[in-house]
Structure 1
């Protein structure tokens, strides 16, 4: 996609997430690969609801700043997915309420903290949703922990922090992040109730072969 169009798309999708409560204040950050091998990422301390296309941070292929405002301090989590999943074309990190709530549960399954409730979770997130140990926001050590999971996971939950979701395109990454939030909401609504989950065969049929 032409970089100017990608910039406009990032601003529009970020504003949509903000206006619908998927991020608040200056929380969350979004990135996407550019056609020239570089990356666009939302600037540090910026609100997803008030971005300017011309001020998005442009990074080169080595994640060095090229132009725009200084990049998000959490660039390491984005780099971890791009390096761990070569097919990733975009990464979305949110502090969305329900997914973050799941990431705070002491007893959450470290490999699949959300039960197999709906098909679209597996179609958009995949078979695994690892829970990464807590790191201070922006801590460089977070990168290795995410990169270790990225080859077999399209998304992760950062303990006591929030979700990070990758996909082939920016639209796909945003859709997946929204689906993850809805799956987390369902899981919390149904907590403690008898539920009918998808069977392993039904889950397998939803995954790429």
Structure 2
């Protein structure tokens, strides 16, 4: 994806970015059927994928537009997770894109047992530290439950992702593309963790400190 497409601020460019990212995630098996949703902050509200839309086959014109008050303006009917997305944006001014998928390895991790509720995976690779950070678990509630939105909103400014038990990751970043890249790193780390026996030890704290100081990352 060209850098010119990333978070230009215009509705047309954001619609194209959402469709491009959705198609890429779908083609590589990060989402299946009509699962998952993507949103982007725009100047006068938000764009979000329609409810029950297949991320691999979206029409930019059908992306739902909601205004600053959350009222549906145009496009398809907004995803039932709209309130979750809105609460993240409201609690983190730097967020301009949110991606949620039902990625296989991450859902499997919640079924097999996460590392801890506050860190679903240990920091076993440098890029997990640099691109993802701490990821807490949000215990199961039905899709669209407002209590999930409230719990995620309370964490939005301190982490960039959560893992919903039995449902998959929600990741937010400075653009839709950056959110998808962090989600991919998170899914790959889960896959590595689940396929490795015995489980690898996390990086030493001194190694994490070096990554943070060298690359100016938050952990």
Q: Which runs of 5+ in 1 are unaligned?
A: none
Whole-angstrom CA distance in 2 between matches of 1:205 and 1:20: 33
**3-state secondary structure, aligned to 2:121:** coil
- TM-score of the aligned structures, taking structure 1 as reference length: 0.93
Q: Is 1:183 the equivalent of 2:189?
A: yes
Q: 1:107 to 1:29 in 2, by over 3 A?
A: closer
**3-state secondary structure, aligned to 2:190:** helix
Q: 1:101 to 1:45 in 2, by over 3 A?
A: same
Q: 1:99 to 1:194 in 2, by over 3 A?
A: closer
**3-state secondary structure, aligned to 2:120:** coil
Match of 2:198 among 187, 193, 196: 193
Q: Measure how far apart 1:8 and its partner are.
A: 1.1
Whole-angstrom CA distance in 2 between matches of 1:45 and 1:107: 28
**3-state secondary structure, aligned to 1:152:** coil
**How is 1:1-150 mapped onto 2 (pairs within 5 angstroms)?**
1=8, 2-34=10-42, 36-106=43-113, 108-126=115-133, 128-150=134-156
- TM-score of the aligned structures, taking structure 2 as reference length: 0.89
Alignment length, in residue pairs? 206
CA contact (8 A) 1:59 1:65 kept: yes
Whole-angstrom CA distance in 1 between matches of 2:20 and 2:113: 36
Whole-angstrom CA distance in 2 between matches of 1:65 and 1:29: 16
Q: 1:109 to 1:54 in 2, by over 3 A?
A: same
Q: Which runs of 5+ in 2 are unaligned?
A: 1-7
CA contact (8 A) 1:131 1:158 kept: yes
Q: 1:118 to 1:106 in 2, by over 3 A?
A: closer
Provide the alpha-carbon RMSD of the alignment: 1.5
**3-state secondary structure, aligned to 2:157:** helix
**3-state secondary structure, aligned to 1:166:** strand
Whole-angstrom CA distance in 2 between matches of 1:104 and 1:205: 33
